[in-house]
């Protein structure tokens, strides 16, 4: 998911997406611990997506508090 798409989401959608992606990250980590994944880069891309979403959420929260 690109940053431009993240910006178009509403704040509630961003919060829901963070929760959803965090769950996916836990699943990926568990799968990888049990048996090697076909594409372990999914873990890295999921972490980066969560970081993008959290950055956007923090930016919005700081703008509303001013």
What tens digit of pLDDT does each residue of 16-50 get? 999 999 999 999 999 999 999 899 999 999 999 99
Tokens of 29: 């980590």
Q: Which domain holds residue 13?
A: 3-65
The pLDDT of residue 64 is above 80: yes
Tokens of 36: 């090697």
In total, how many domains does the chain have? Answer: 1
The pLDDT of residue 52 is above 90: yes
Give the pTM. 0.90
Q: What is the CA radius of gyration of the chain?
A: 14
């Amino acid at each position: 998911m690109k940053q431009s798409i993240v910006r178009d989401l509403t704040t509630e959608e961003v919060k829901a997406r963070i929760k959803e992606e965090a769950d996916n990250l836990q699943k990926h980590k568990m799968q990888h611990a049990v048996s090697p994944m076909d594409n372990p880069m999914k873990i890295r891309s999921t972490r980066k997506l969560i970081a993008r979403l959290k950055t956007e959420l923090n930016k919005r929260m700081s703008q509303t508090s001013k």
